[in-house]
Amino acid sequence: MQGLSPTAAGVPHLARPGRPAVVARTLAELTGPTRGVVELPVRLMWCPDRRFDLGDPDQLLWMYENVLRETTRTDDLRDLINGRTLRRVWRLLNLPRGVRQAWESRHPGLRTA
């Protein structure tokens, strides 16, 4: 399955029960915005205010956490997450264990970011 990060046993890491974590093949393919205001689609965030100012560090973290946890599409990752920014904020993100494990399995450099 493209975008999924299986464990050694072949079972994908889970973002939550029943939902495999989606992981980009490379960090370089993550070309999302680095500034401005981003509005997430309803499928990624259900509350009325889905807009995030990327200039506000707390809003940037909150947006990345939601996208990484909720997405079921690698296109969301490519369009909304920036690889360099992800590496810079990785340790600050509050992610489910399965999401963090999936990303660090695929991208071991994040462990030391």
What's the whole-number average pLDDT of the chain? 90
**What is the C-alpha separation between 58 and 78, in angstroms, rounded?**
21
pLDDT tens digit string along 30-40? 999 999 999 99
**What is the C-alpha separation between 107 and 86, in angstroms, rounded?**
11
- Give the amino acid at 9: A
The pLDDT, as a whole number, for residue 1 is 40
User: In the structure, what pLDDT confidence band is assigned to residue 16 with cuts at 50, 70 and 90?
Assistant: confident
pLDDT tens digit string along 22-31? 999 999 999 9
What are the residues whose beta carbons fall under 8 Å from the beta carbon of 99, sequence distance 6 or more? 13, 15, 21, 68, 69
Mean pLDDT of 78-97: 97
Mean pLDDT of 51-57: 98
